[in-house]
Amino acid sequence: MPAIDAEWPSGDFLEPAVVTRGLTKRFGERVAVNDVHLEVPAGSAFGFLGPNGAGKTTMIRMLLGLTSISSGSASLLGQPIPRARAKALSRVGAIVEEPSFRKHLSGRENLEIVAAVRGPEAYPRIAPALERVGLAERADDRVSRYSLGMRQRLGVARCLLADPKLLILDEPTNGLDPHGIQEFRTMVRALVQDEGRTVFLSSHLLDEVERVCDHVAIVDHGRVIVQGSIEELTGRAGQQVIVGVDAPDLAIMTLEELPAVREVLPVDGVLKVRLDGRPDAVSELAAALVYAGVAVSRLEPTRHSLEERFLEITSLQQEVAA
Amino acid sequence: MSLTIARRMVGAEFLKLRKSRSTVIWSLLLAVGSVVIFFVWRQLSRHGGQPTGGTDGFWHGLELIGIFIAPLAAVLIGAEAGAGDTGSGVFRDLVVTGRSRVALFAARIPGALMLVCIVVSLSYGAMLAATFAFAGSLPNPSASDVLAGWGWALLVDGAVCVVAVGLASLTQSRPATITVLVGFELVASPLLLQTSSLGHARDALLDASVLRLSPVDLHGAPVVGETAVLAVIVMLAWMVVAAAAGAWRTHRADA
């Protein structure tokens, strides 16, 4: 499977792959997606993270023109949706919910059906796509004999028929075993890093998004609460350092006097120190301990996991709501 | 959309249908099996050594193919073509290619008609073989009768298939489509045709057009007074209305 070519203007790469402005979907009185402003950087793995029922699939369905937009606007690869939907989707591959196939047909025949709809240029991509997802040897078996993991991979192969600049994957690891999940993550990273494609990955699994994605939007109750790079989000709450010392009481007294230190907690024989965001805070801390005569055996900066950040944000939301 | 893409989309529809074992087996059982059973039964139960083939057998066989059983095969094929993608969940994956939904719908009709043509032709071939094999002392149908009968069978079963594709795309349900159309073909339509108090309103029935356009006088068929032109218009109207309804639903429905 070749990396994406330069058929589209090179300037496209500078534009976000997905942009939404005030995107809203109502089902009668119920608002499933509420005023969503989103920017997915091109060439990134973007996690669309939220609990089940948060509106992730509805958002994807609007982006793909599977359901109408109540208000707001959206564009894929710089093309407005739904006005230029056909052009945009010609370079988009998508798996919405679980991938569906004609089970009485083989994997190859299922791809031939989609290739027929996509156009003549999709036919030569069938064999490389099957090879790419590791299904070349089982391509002529009926899909009814495929495991769920194989069907997921066949779904990705179907996406690759478009030679996509953007892949939209909705909960792609649902039902996969740990080995399948690992394979899938590796494949997604390769699609982004080696082939320069953009992957928009919807998931309710924090760990999955943190491992695979480099940008994330956290969504809840139809609203995007926060978005940015994983680094930004996990670093935004301040820095944490684990400190091992020979005199914990003296170290605590010393550290509590430092302006950069927010909190010091003795935990399991070490000190967990929360610092403010200033860049020289760690070196300031080390210098203060040495100056006070405390022997430092361990000094390990840690960062917040996305899970901690997610819980922090959602608990803040609940407080605001209360 | 280019002709190449259209041709390949129709080929893909045909692939889906011809690989659907249940649809193909049931269609062949109905269309070909019924002809075989019919002639075997006539041969076994004939009275006074009367031959079962010839023109008499040809007329009866034509009724079977054009009016009674083969249209049911056309309904099965049309229903699978119209609702198969939605039922299997594949329709959504075809929509996300960006291809127009109307184009996706439109490809179903020729794809289904290709299979109907094959099934009906096989059925017709079996009927002709029996007609000539069991003709005995009876005259055989002429070449023009054979050709006209074949054309008529393809026309009427094709029309039923198009109606089935449209209705299945509208209801997005294969069972509902089969139930409604089989009930209509086997029960409602014959009853309405026999209800003389309906007068010319009966001309609007698809079966009235089918009978009117028949190349031979079919046994036991009610007298239909409409002109051939009106019969063609009525048949076209059934197909156009059903196809338009199916296209509208395919275009509008959430995928």
> Domain residue spans in chain B?
3-252
Q: How far apart are CA B72 and CA B37, in angstroms?
A: 16
User: Are residue A91 and residue A36 in the same domain, yes or no?
Assistant: yes
Q: How far apart are CA A88 and CA A16, in angstroms?
A: 13
User: Are residue A251 and residue A218 in the same domain, yes or no?
Assistant: no
User: Are residue A135 and residue A225 in the same domain, yes or no?
Assistant: yes
Q: Minimal CA–CA distance to B24: which of B73, B69, B66?
A: B73
User: Are residue A153 and residue A59 in the same domain, yes or no?
Assistant: yes
Report the pLDDT value the prediction gives residue B224, as an integer from 0 to 100: 62
- Residue A104 in contact with partner chain B when CB distance is under 8 A: yes
Would you write out chain B's pLDDT as a tens digit for each of its 255 residues? Answer: 788 999 999 999 999 999 999 999 999 999 999 999 999 888 888 766 788 888 888 988 998 998 888 899 999 999 999 999 999 999 999 999 999 999 999 999 999 999 999 999 999 999 999 999 988 888 999 999 999 999 999 999 999 999 999 999 999 999 999 999 999 988 999 899 888 888 888 889 998 898 888 887 765 556 566 788 999 999 999 999 999 999 999 998 877
C-alpha distance from residue B43 to each of B39, B59, B63 (Å): 6, 16, 18
| Range(s) of the domain holding residue A253 | 238-303
Report the pLDDT value the prediction gives residue A9, as an integer from 0 to 100: 44
Contact B93 A100 (CB under 8 A): yes
Whether this prediction's pTM lies above 0.90 is answered by no
Report the pLDDT value the prediction gives residue A2, as an integer from 0 to 100: 44
Report the pLDDT value the prediction gives residue A215, as an integer from 0 to 100: 93
User: Are residue A180 and residue A279 in the same domain, yes or no?
Assistant: no
Contact B89 A92 (CB under 8 A): no
Contact A66 B94 (CB under 8 A): no
User: β-strands A270-275, A261-267: how paired?
Assistant: antiparallel
Q: How far apart are CA B53 and CA B146, in angstroms?
A: 14
Report the pLDDT value the prediction gives residue A4, as an integer from 0 to 100: 42
Q: How far A117 CA lies from chain B's nearest CA (Å)? A: 6
With beta carbons under 8 A apart, name residues in chain A contacting B94.
Answer: 113-114, 117
Candidates A65, A67, A114; nearest CB to B94? A114
Establish if A46 belongs to a structural domain.
Answer: yes
Q: How far B88 CA lies from chain A's nearest CA (Å)? A: 6
- Residue A118 in contact with partner chain B when CB distance is under 8 A: yes
Report the pLDDT value the prediction gives residue B220, as an integer from 0 to 100: 56
User: Are residue A195 and residue A68 in the same domain, yes or no?
Assistant: yes
Inter-helix orientation angle B3-18/A107-118, to 10°: 150
Nearest chain B residue to A113, by CA: B12
Structure tokens at A146: 């495929």
Establish if A309 belongs to a structural domain.
Answer: no
Q: How far apart are CA B232 and CA A294, in angstroms?
A: 101
Q: How far apart are CA A5 and CA B206, in angstroms?
A: 54
User: Are residue A157 and residue A227 in the same domain, yes or no?
Assistant: yes
With beta carbons under 8 A apart, name residues in chain A contacting B90.
Answer: 100-102, 113
Contact B12 A118 (CB under 8 A): no
The CATH number for A262's domain is 3.30.70.980
> Which of A199, A231, A263 represents a domain boundary (last residue)?
A231
Candidates A85, A105, A109; nearest CB to B98? A85
Are B12 and B111 contacting, i.e. CB atoms less than 8 angstroms apart?
yes
User: Are residue A52 and residue A185 in the same domain, yes or no?
Assistant: yes
User: Are residue A196 and residue A297 in the same domain, yes or no?
Assistant: no
Q: How far apart are CA B65 and CA A280, in angstroms?
A: 89
Q: How far apart are CA B70 and CA B28, in angstroms?
A: 9
User: Are residue A123 and residue A173 in the same domain, yes or no?
Assistant: yes
Report the pLDDT value the prediction gives residue B38, as an integer from 0 to 100: 92
Establish if A80 belongs to a structural domain.
Answer: yes
Contact A102 B16 (CB under 8 A): yes
With beta carbons under 8 A apart, name residues in chain B contacting A158.
Answer: 93
Establish if A74 belongs to a structural domain.
Answer: yes
Structure tokens at B197: 């108090």
Establish if A147 belongs to a structural domain.
Answer: yes
C-alpha distance from residue A241 to each of A191, A271, A286, A297 (Å): 34, 8, 11, 13
- Which are the contacts of A322, defined by CB distance < 8 A and separation ≥ 6? none
Q: How far apart are CA A314 and CA A223, in angstroms?
A: 12
Are A68 and A80 contacting, i.e. CB atoms less than 8 angstroms apart?
no
Q: Which residue, among B93, B94, B102, would best test binding to A if mutated, counting the most A CBs under 10 Å from its CB?
A: B93
Nearest chain B residue to A161, by CA: B97
* DSSP label of B187: I
Are B158 and B74 contacting, i.e. CB atoms less than 8 angstroms apart?
yes
User: Are residue A245 and residue A219 in the same domain, yes or no?
Assistant: no
CA trace torsion B165, B168, B171, B173 (10° rounding): -170
Are A270 and A298 contacting, i.e. CB atoms less than 8 angstroms apart?
yes
Q: Which residue, among B88, B91, B97, would best test binding to A if mutated, counting the most A CBs under 10 Å from its CB?
A: B97
Q: Which residue, among A102, A106, A141, A152, would best test binding to B if mutated, counting the most B CBs under 10 Å from its CB?
A: A102
Q: How far B11 CA lies from chain A's nearest CA (Å)? A: 8
> Which of A231, A263, A294 represents a domain boundary (last residue)?
A231
Q: How far apart are CA B76 and CA B89, in angstroms?
A: 19
Candidates A88, A103, A115; nearest CB to B98? A88
- Residue A113 in contact with partner chain B when CB distance is under 8 A: yes
Number of domains in chain A: 2
The sheet carrying A296-302 orders its strands as: A261-267, A270-275, A239-245, A296-302
Establish if A320 belongs to a structural domain.
Answer: no
User: Are residue A223 and residue A250 in the same domain, yes or no?
Assistant: no
Establish if A317 belongs to a structural domain.
Answer: no
Report the pLDDT value the prediction gives residue A237, as an integer from 0 to 100: 52
Are A57 and A96 contacting, i.e. CB atoms less than 8 angstroms apart?
yes
C-alpha distance from residue A60 to each of A26, A57, A216, B64, B117 (Å): 14, 5, 15, 50, 41
- Residue A121 in contact with partner chain B when CB distance is under 8 A: no
Are B162 and B244 contacting, i.e. CB atoms less than 8 angstroms apart?
no
How many residues are present in chain A?
A: 322
Establish if A16 belongs to a structural domain.
Answer: yes
Q: Which portions of chain A are predicted below pLDDT 70?
A: 1-14, 235-238, 277, 303-305, 312, 314-322
